[in-house]
Chains A and B, each alone.
Chain A
């Protein structure tokens, strides 16, 4: 069923694409290749499956407090070290509220405001990967986020997904392979060859020069969509710029058309929900994009955590639940996998301001029809700590490797190295 759907859309895309190109000199890469079946890895079966599988990454910026997100109410140490901000067991009654049931046997619950995720859990759509981190944890926002995004402990170089796309694309970047919502594309999506598109709202893809005078639009469209002009050496820098300019116009048309459509399902307010709504619209419009990236900040809860964290949790849970409903209304629940992470968790003991300071390991959530449901892995010890911080039980690169191997069905080792066995996260 799903393959037919994709093939049909490619034909449709071909017609749209040819209509948009104003000269035959250059047809945008993805249209041309779809038409002639000239995918860069035409011989590799993974390509067709890859196009059908979408990864959505939700980045929580600031260091989300994992211990109050997936609550280890089984642990007396947890309560002892967080006298003011610990969350109680389901049905309990304390200042932190009562956790939502997640795994009664393990004594784990979800933050009281994560009702959205709890519903997904009840329907078998939520995987909770415990204790994710890396050795020699870095508690600097910048550095740790760079580590997560590059998939390297030195935080240097290209993004892990950038390398995934580089490996696929054979030197010719795919214009819409990865899209980030927000003003800067995260390093995660940046490769040596492959670069993502980043936009805050679709108005980015609009030339501001049009505002100067009504007569500006037509000549602008003409020059930027002309593609490679006659007599220009195709290998020249100028030809490259002309072709890329046309690609850029076609890509942006595509995105603007996609996000203009109203979503079929309701979304709550808030920035994250807004971003996910745009992602849902682009998926509904069958963009060829394989990775979407959304992000939300504010998780650096150093003081007075209970109130602010509850607010954040509600936004996250409700936005993701709404997104999943949107995906289901499109029949795409087996084709979209959502991953939620933060650059580090927080310290086990609360601080003097009823908040928490930068920590280490934390849970990663996976949502989707093909996410392995339930609580996965081992909760980090709350007794055997590393200077007051949790010791990770799973390296984040094993999470990435699991996604690369089982979701995108590629060998993770060229992208992440051989030291991190793929965690089984996809069914």
Chain B
């Protein structure tokens, strides 16, 4: 009987590259020095540093609440009068004013995107931001539909607060989140006039997974349970007069259920833990398509069991995963296609490139298919090989060049020599050692011999001397490798 894939990686096998792998997956990678610190902490110490963090305050944004505030009673009355008498001038003034506020709100969203990206690049708690990104893709809500940046921020903060916390409490928070409720027409779902959108996605996308355990009948019943929600400015409120108070039957259980009752029923199903475990597996371990290995299946089953045992508290479950044999199995190195955000943040953090124009980087992330605060649909981002196609590959390569050298003569230089400073004892680093290290460091796996030959020959053609310019040139080549898109 082979070892339990979730059993801890033997301590003696937790080497520098294990720490690098851990930091890349549980966070966004780091410099050789940062990896060294993690390595020195040992397997359990490293995992604890990542998983057991003190939450970082996220009130340092400069967003304001009232750009997309609802109309006041006075404004509503004025508009109604204007419509009655055909007062075009007033109506037009209101339309203009609304358009101005929409423009301001879009500018505020742009600022929030920059704010979040900067957090990801600089945070001392990378798992906190990585899980915020995970939840953003899971409970996907798009700005273009709700057009309210304050609500998108509130949702982002909700994800951060529950990053590695209780997934059921996060689900309860989502049913009270103005962005999500509006996005899925929750406030239009009323007794006698049901709207099934939120009910359907709750089961299909958020908790159970498509087709798992529920029927169309259950969706209708859950919709009844969720009636009565309304959005009052920035808060989701419950209006009893709009709620269907009758008895509902959800997954075989009967009662006068409302939203929280539904969550209790759904999370009690075994499918809920398996669904979340599978998503976490794809996000942290391996997102290749096709049938999984036996160890992979055992790991997912094991994670599901842990989720149930820990009442969906993520921190202890992730801690087990990050310390496990399966997580560190070389077969699972280079097994995840970097998301555009992962690509950008990881390159910045691990290579130590100087700050570049964030709007430009976010624009490139959009072109690579990942627009922060604007997932393509409530399904979020498929991830995996879906990130990769003709156009996105070129954008990925070129954005790395931009990170390395910046734009124009005034661009801040990138002190690439720091990456290999530890390789030199007396004088510049040895070319062979440099080539080996750069490839291993950047690719996260043992490189193919042909890549080593190619990079070595390249350095030789440049004069076989390891200095800043040649390092930058080598990094440009390494980050253009197809395998660099994997982590």
Q: Which residues of A contact B (CB under 8 A)?
A: 140, 142-143, 146, 155-157, 173, 175-176, 183-185, 187, 190, 192, 195-199, 204-209, 212-213, 215-216, 219-220, 222-224, 226, 229-232, 235-238, 240-242, 244-245, 247-248, 251-252, 349, 351-353, 357
User: Which residue of the partner chain, among A187, A231, A349, contacts B448 with CB atoms under 8 Å?
Assistant: A231
> By CB atoms of chain A within 10 A, which of B382, B388, B405, B454 has the most?
B388
User: Which residue of the partner chain, among A143, A204, A208, contacts B401 with CB atoms under 8 Å?
Assistant: A208
B390 at the interface (CB under 8 A from A): yes
B426 at the interface (CB under 8 A from A): no
Q: Measured between alpha carbons, how far is A216 from B405 in the docked complex, in Å?
A: 14
User: Which residue of the partner chain, among A231, A238, A248, contacts B394 with CB atoms under 8 Å?
Assistant: A248
User: Which of B12-20, B56-64, B87-95, B245-253 lines the interface with chain A?
Assistant: B87-95
In the complex, which residues of chain B have a beta carbon less than 8 angstroms from the beta carbon of A353?
92
The smallest beta-carbon distance between A151 and chain B, in angstroms, is 13
Cβ contact within 8 Å between A156 and B378: yes
Cβ contact within 8 Å between A185 and B391: yes
Cβ contact within 8 Å between B88 and A219: no
In the complex, which residues of chain B have a beta carbon less than 8 angstroms from the beta carbon of A223?
451, 454, 477, 480-482
Q: Measured between alpha carbons, how far is A241 from B366 in the docked complex, in Å?
A: 20
Cβ contact within 8 Å between B390 and A220: no
User: Which of B164-172, B300-308, B310-318, B456-464 lines the interface with chain A?
Assistant: B456-464
Which residues, 442 to 471 on B, are CB-close (under 8 Å) to A?
A: 448, 450-451, 454-455, 457-458, 461-462
Assess A207 versus B334: contact at CB under 8 Å? Given A187-B376, A219-B458.
no
B377 at the interface (CB under 8 A from A): yes
User: Which residue of the partner chain, among B393, B458, B483, contacts A248 with CB atoms under 8 Å?
Assistant: B393
User: Which residue of the partner chain, among A156, A197, A212, A236, contacts B389 with CB atoms under 8 Å?
Assistant: A197
In the complex, which residues of chain A have a beta carbon less than 8 angstroms from the beta carbon of B388?
240-241, 244
Cβ contact within 8 Å between B390 and A197: yes
In the complex, the chain B residue whose C-beta lies closest to that of A224 is B480
Q: Is chain B's binding surface mostly helix, strand, loop or mixed? A: helix
Given contacts A206-B394, A209-B398, A223-B482, 20 further A-B contacts (CB under 8 A): A140-B147, A146-B144, A176-B390, A184-B367, A197-B389, A197-B390, A208-B402, A209-B473, A209-B476, A212-B472, A215-B461, A224-B480, A229-B448, A235-B290, A237-B385, A238-B334, A240-B388, A241-B486, A242-B483, A248-B390
Interface size on B, residues (CB 8 A): 55
User: Which residue of the partner chain, among A187, A212, A349, contacts B405 with CB atoms under 8 Å?
Assistant: A212
Cβ contact within 8 Å between A207 and B367: no
In the complex, which residues of chain A have a beta carbon less than 8 angstroms from the beta carbon of B486?
237-238, 241
Q: Measured between alpha carbons, how far is A347 from B415 in the docked complex, in Å?
A: 58
The smallest beta-carbon distance between A301 and chain B, in angstroms, is 14
In the complex, the chain B residue whose C-beta lies closest to that of A150 is B377
In the complex, which residues of chain A have a beta carbon less than 8 angstroms from the beta carbon of B385?
237, 240
27 intermolecular pairs with C-beta atoms under 8 Å apart: A142-B145, A156-B378, A190-B376, A195-B369, A197-B390, A207-B394, A208-B397, A208-B401, A208-B402, A209-B473, A209-B477, A213-B473, A216-B473, A216-B477, A219-B454, A223-B481, A226-B450, A229-B448, A235-B290, A237-B288, A237-B336, A244-B390, A245-B393, A248-B389, A248-B390, A248-B393, A349-B88
B485 at the interface (CB under 8 A from A): yes
Cβ contact within 8 Å between A204 and B480: no
In the complex, which residues of chain A have a beta carbon less than 8 angstroms from the beta carbon of B390?
175-176, 197, 244, 247-248, 251-252
Cβ contact within 8 Å between A238 and B402: no
Assess A219 versus B457: contact at CB under 8 Å? Given A197-B389, A212-B473, A252-B390.
yes
Cβ contact within 8 Å between A237 and B337: yes
Assess A207 versus B401: contact at CB under 8 Å? Given A223-B481, A245-B393.
yes
Q: Measured between alpha carbons, how far is A215 from B448 in the docked complex, in Å?
A: 22
Q: How many A-B residue pairs lie within 8 Å, measured between CB atoms?
A: 143
In the complex, which residues of chain A have a beta carbon less than 8 angstroms from the beta carbon of B95?
357
User: Which residue of the partner chain, among B379, B398, B462, B485, contacts A208 with CB atoms under 8 Å?
Assistant: B398
In the complex, the chain A residue whose C-beta lies closest to that of B88 is A352
In the complex, which residues of chain A have a beta carbon less than 8 angstroms from the beta carbon of B462?
213, 215
Cβ contact within 8 Å between B145 and A224: no
Cβ contact within 8 Å between A204 and B394: yes
B225 at the interface (CB under 8 A from A): no
Q: Measured between alpha carbons, how far is A324 from B96 in the docked complex, in Å?
A: 39
Q: Measured between alpha carbons, how far is A176 from B391 in the docked complex, in Å?
A: 10
Which residues, 360 to 384 on B, are CB-close (under 8 Å) to A?
A: 366-367, 369, 376-379, 382
B335 at the interface (CB under 8 A from A): yes
The smallest beta-carbon distance between B405 and chain A, in angstroms, is 7
In the complex, which residues of chain A have a beta carbon less than 8 angstroms from the beta carbon of B334?
237-238
Q: Measured between alpha carbons, how far is A226 from B391 in the docked complex, in Å?
A: 18
Cβ contact within 8 Å between B394 and A205: yes
In the complex, the chain A residue whose C-beta lies closest to that of B197 is A154
In the complex, which residues of chain A have a beta carbon less than 8 angstroms from the beta carbon of B378?
156
In the complex, the chain B residue whose C-beta lies closest to that of A183 is B367
Q: Measured between alpha carbons, how far is A263 from B93 in the docked complex, in Å?
A: 48
In the complex, which residues of chain A have a beta carbon less than 8 angstroms from the beta carbon of B481?
223-224
Cβ contact within 8 Å between B367 and A156: no
Cβ contact within 8 Å between A252 and B448: no
Cβ contact within 8 Å between B144 and A142: yes
The smallest beta-carbon distance between B106 and chain A, in angstroms, is 10
The smallest beta-carbon distance between A210 and chain B, in angstroms, is 9
In the complex, which residues of chain A have a beta carbon less than 8 angstroms from the beta carbon of B336?
237
Q: Measured between alpha carbons, how far is A351 from B145 in the docked complex, in Å?
A: 27
The smallest beta-carbon distance between B309 and chain A, in angstroms, is 32
Q: Measured between alpha carbons, how far is A251 from B485 in the docked complex, in Å?
A: 19
Q: Measured between alpha carbons, how far is A206 from B480 in the docked complex, in Å?
A: 12
In the complex, the chain B residue whose C-beta lies closest to that of A247 is B390
Cβ contact within 8 Å between B448 and A209: no
Q: Measured between alpha carbons, how far is A238 from B337 in the docked complex, in Å?
A: 9
Assess A351 versus B394: contact at CB under 8 Å? Given A156-B377, A215-B462, A229-B450.
no
Cβ contact within 8 Å between A244 and B393: yes
